[in-house]
Amino acid sequence: MTASSQDLQGKPDEKWDPAWSNAVFSLAERDRRWAKVRALMKREGIDLLVCMPCTNSHDRGAADARYLTQLGENSDESSVAFPIEGEVRAWHSRPGVWPSSNWFSDIRSAGRGTGGATISSYINEFPQYKKSRIAIAGLTSTPMTHCRAAEGEINWQSVEMLKANFPQAEFVSASTVLGEARWVKSDEEIAFLRKGVEIAELTLDAIRETAREGVPEREVFAEMMYVNAKAGGSFTPMFGWITGPQGRPYHRLEQPSFRTFADKDMLSVEIEGRWGGYIAQIDQSAVINTPIDGLTDAMKLAYEAYDRTLELLKPGTTMGELADTAVLTALGGRLRAGLGFHGRGTGDDGPLLIAGVPLKPEIRNLAIVENCCFAVKPSVFFDGIAEYCRWGDSAVVGKNGGVRLGTRPQELIVLK
């Protein structure tokens, strides 16, 4: 047998052990999710839902497989066969027990980069699916999921292999089913996101303690990674990184440069905190030694935009209303705030709002519901210059308004 279809199973006597574990959800949470997804599959006439390896965008491309199985730590490739009834099966680089495999035991071995061959082998084993309706995760983007992958993000050749191997099957996108399933969060999911914000805030403390004039950017970044991992964060977090002279910084990166922090520099960061694969986010601006004129006013505008948005985070509010309430000006129009905003969960959840970018009608008219979770992150433009400063936090939609998941103060951090 080839490496792609060897389908090795773990030792039958191996059991998941909490002593060798990552953060995991309860069996009740598993049952809730699986029942919800299967009800949506039934509504859409889908017999089998499959996930194939996708570690794009800091592993956020694997959101669907993680939602169904919890598997995929540190970008390990995973494939999943999720039938409308019967046993769930997954494939990893090694069979058997994994630190997040408390939900089920049928985890087998598959060669890396062989999602199409792996799922083909499964369908041949269960030939009732050869003429069925099969949904493929990550095939398309929707307003609710894979929102940064306009053309989808699953491997094209894997999809073509399935279509060629099973010409009588109907292949459709799973994004409508999984986007809807993941849209509203359970209490357990919200608790994981809250823990993710706690990790992100500890990571921010590493900036407070290490970023100073004369310190290399990479040294600060390394301390952030260390603190994030020590706090239990899932690998690998994303840190959006904007540095340079205040008022005219370099554009956003997701890594540090070889720069050394200088007097009157700024550092604006997006910090992910991940717990059990659930991705929370905070946004913060800091300055070295002294803020320049106008920056304190700009931060106040960001706080106001955040607070106004939080107040409207209640069922029935539309994305258009949220975007409009965050558009604020100051200093005779020289300062202008706009809303950055997107879903939070296991991946690139939507909808995605970018400050200053008009919303499509289908996004503008989309209404939120209780227990949706979002990263709310206003940013401020000065004389049309983007990324002047930012402040944001993750939040959950409550009955009467949003609830912040973080605890840190609204402040411009001054590093001396």
Same domain, 146 and 281: no
Whether 214 is in a domain gets the answer yes
Helix (H) or strand (E) holding 42: helix 27-44
Boundary (domain end) residue, out of 156, 183, 210: 183
Question: What is residue 3's predicted lDDT score, i.e. its pLDDT?
Answer: 40
155 and 283 share one domain = no
What CATH number is given to the structural domain containing 170?
A: 3.40.350.10
Domain identity same for 136 and 214: no
Please tell me whether residues 244 and 276 are part of one structural domain: yes
Output the pLDDT for position 1.
Answer: 36
Q: How far apart are CA 246 and CA 287, in angstroms?
A: 8
Residue 80's DSSP bridge partners are 51, 90
Residue range(s) defining the domain that contains residue 112: 27-183
pLDDT tens readout for residues 268-312 = 999 999 999 999 999 999 999 999 999 999 999 999 999 999 999
What residue ranges of the chain have pLDDT lower than 50?
Answer: 1-5
Q: Which of 121, 153, 183 is the last residue of a domain?
A: 183
Q: Using the 3D structure, point to which of 137, 163, 183 is the last residue of a domain.
A: 183
Q: State the Cα–Cα distance between residues 382 and 242, nearest whole angstrom.
A: 16
Q: Domain check: are 145 and 245 in the same one? A: no
Phi, psi of 27 (to 5 degrees): -70, -30
| pLDDT, position 75 | 87
- Angle among Cα 39, 41, 45 to the nearest 5 degrees reads 120
Whether 13 maps to a domain, the answer reads no
User: Residue 4: inside a domain, yes or no?
Assistant: no
Question: Is 192 found in the same domain as 150?
Answer: no
pLDDT at 385: 86
User: Quick one: 258 exposed, middle or buried, by C-beta within 10 A (0-12, 13-18, 19+)?
Assistant: exposed
Q: For residues 179 and 191, state if they share a domain.
A: no
**Residues 298 and 338 grouped into a single domain:** yes
Helices (H) and strands (E) in the chain — how many of each? 11, 16
* pLDDT at residue 6 in the model: 62
> Could you read off the pLDDT of 49-107 as tens digits, one per residue?
999 999 988 889 999 999 999 999 888 999 999 999 999 999 999 999 999 999 999 99
- CATH number of the domain at 253, please: 3.90.230.10
Q: Do 348 and 309 reside in the same domain of the chain? A: yes
**pLDDT at residue 403, rounded to an integer:** 98
Q: Look at the chain and report how many structural domains it folds into.
A: 2
CA-to-CA dists, residue 162 to 1, 114, 158, 187, 334, angstroms? 19, 11, 6, 37, 55
Residue 218 and residue 143 share a domain: no
Output the pLDDT for position 57: 87
Q: What is the pLDDT of residue 115?
A: 97
Query: Are 52 and 90 contacting, i.e. CB atoms less than 8 angstroms apart?
Result: no
Cα 209 from chain centroid (whole Å): 27
Please indicate, yes or no, whether residues 293 and 385 belong to a single structural domain of this protein. Answer: yes
